[in-house]
Amino acid sequence: MQRNQSATARQCRRVQSRVENADAVGFFNLLTGPQLLGDVESLLPEHRERLFPPTETLSMFMAQSLSADGSCRQAVDDAAVKRLIAGMAPCSTNTAAYCKARARLPQAMVETLARRTGKLVADGVCDAWLWRGRRVCLADGTTTTLPDTEENQAAYPQPGAQRKGLGFPSMRLVALLCLASGALLDAASGPCAGKGSDEQTLFRGLLEPLGEGDVLLGDAYFPTYFLLCELVRRGVDGLFEQYGARRRSTDFNLGERLGTRDHLITWTKPKRPAWMSEAAYAQVPEQLTVRELYAGGKLLVTTFLDPKQTPKGVLRALYWRRWQVELDVRNLKTTLGMEQLRCRTPEMAQKELWVYLLAYNLIRLLMAQAALLADQIPRQLSFKHTVQIWISWHQRGGASYNGAVLHGLLLLIAQPRVGLRPGRIEPRQRKRRDNAFPLMTKPRGEAREEVRLNGHAKKQR
């Protein structure tokens, strides 16, 4: 016990020493002040001096997304209380002005801020956080639901198997993240049904942040012929679980044998897909050599062709780290509350989505700074702990900061550490039972009328 306490004390002293030598005030000026917002000043619309100018509205919108309540009422109440404490003229707690200010907020400004913040974090990683000196990016898709309104249903239809009035509009999101820092580099969204709604189509618009020397990790939705050719053209290596259709036809007796269940195989160019122009199709090479291997219980496909430079064990260990993107998606949807958006129109839902992504990247920016100061890696710091610290600090007068308080804040963020669990597998099941009420199987209006006539249904056992 004494040994553990001594190690903890040494860790705290080391963190404190590094924090004291850091320009924490300058960092927080970047995070909370007008400098970051000033980068996109040209995107601001012409506006009068109002109670809720664009920058103030965005700040309230982000605080609202991080709040457990998440309502416009709480956001306005918080603003009114802060004005009262600061001795400013009181304002009404009516939410109409704030809701109108949110509607005026340019989505392009929020998107630009989210992308620039993610790039700021990813570009600032130290060499020790990289994989063999190379940046690794993670790609994954997920879905979120929207309120059941006619506008949302038209733009993001509910699953076809659900009866009208019983489901919720569904939006698909594909994200590109940095493995070292957890920062979100870019994202694309669309409906879950219809032409161009699949993860492959959405991801094709996210290739711009990838540069020569990067590595891309993804699941079995991504390693198609055309995507792998594009990665090779950009000088990007890829490592994926094998695509479902090719998994059944993989034969390790073919191609150039590299080891046990490890070989090089040549793919031929498939027919031109409907989404690709003839000019773009003509530029795609007729053949592509890839490496297929079986490692860690998974059939993988990669553009790392040299078994001496990248042995099977190295690739297996790298792919195990793909689990981090599952945690990042969980942080977005569960920790921040993005699993169910609240805005009742498609335009505001898109804006709300990007506010969540911006808030996520700002938390990652905090974690990266704390990790640098504590001589840790960001993945060993707790995302939820950082959110809790930030909310608590903000609620207790975070705008009036000073160097000593910021030093202590970074120290608090860096203290607890989480384990690195590569290759972690968890069943997609719930242990805790829900309340024993039956599922709604008819529109709410019909269900209400049935309750009036027959009373409430009995609980299910």
pLDDT of amino acid 6: 58
pLDDT of amino acid 207: 96
Looking at the fold, whether 317 and 241 belong to one and the same domain comes out as: yes
Which residue numbers in the chain have pLDDT < 50?
A: 1, 11, 14-35
Q: Does a structural domain hold residue 258?
A: yes
pLDDT of amino acid 19: 37
Looking at the fold, whether 88 and 18 belong to one and the same domain comes out as: yes
Looking at the fold, whether 252 and 311 belong to one and the same domain comes out as: yes
Question: Could you list the residue range(s) of the whole structural domain that residue 405 is in?
Answer: 2-107+368-414
Q: Does a structural domain hold residue 52?
A: yes
Looking at the fold, whether 304 and 389 belong to one and the same domain comes out as: no
pLDDT of amino acid 189: 97
pLDDT of amino acid 33: 46
Specify which residues 239 forms β-bridges with.
217, 302
Q: Does a structural domain hold residue 138?
A: no
- Tell me which amino acid residue 323 is: W
Instruction: Please answer whether residues 219 and 199 qualify as being in contact, where contact means their C-beta atoms are separated by less than 8 angstroms.
Output: no
pLDDT of amino acid 172: 97
* pTM given for the model: 0.87
Q: Does a structural domain hold residue 265?
A: yes
Q: How many domains does the chain have?
A: 2
Q: Does a structural domain hold residue 87?
A: yes
Residue in this structure with the two tokens 């972690």, named with its chain if needed: 424
Q: Does a structural domain hold residue 403?
A: yes
Looking at the fold, whether 309 and 384 belong to one and the same domain comes out as: no
Looking at the fold, whether 314 and 372 belong to one and the same domain comes out as: no
Q: Cα–Cα distance between 379 and 306 in angstroms, integer?
A: 29
Q: Does a structural domain hold residue 347?
A: no
Looking at 264, 293, 321, the residue that finishes a domain is 321
Q: Does a structural domain hold residue 261?
A: yes
Instruction: Please answer whether residues 151 and 344 qualify as being in contact, where contact means their C-beta atoms are separated by less than 8 angstroms.
Output: yes
**What does the buried/exposed string (b/e) look like for 186-206 if buried means 16 or more CB atoms within 10 Å of the residue's CB?**
bbbbbbbeeeebbbbbbbbeb
**pLDDT tens string 254-271:** 999 999 999 999 999 999
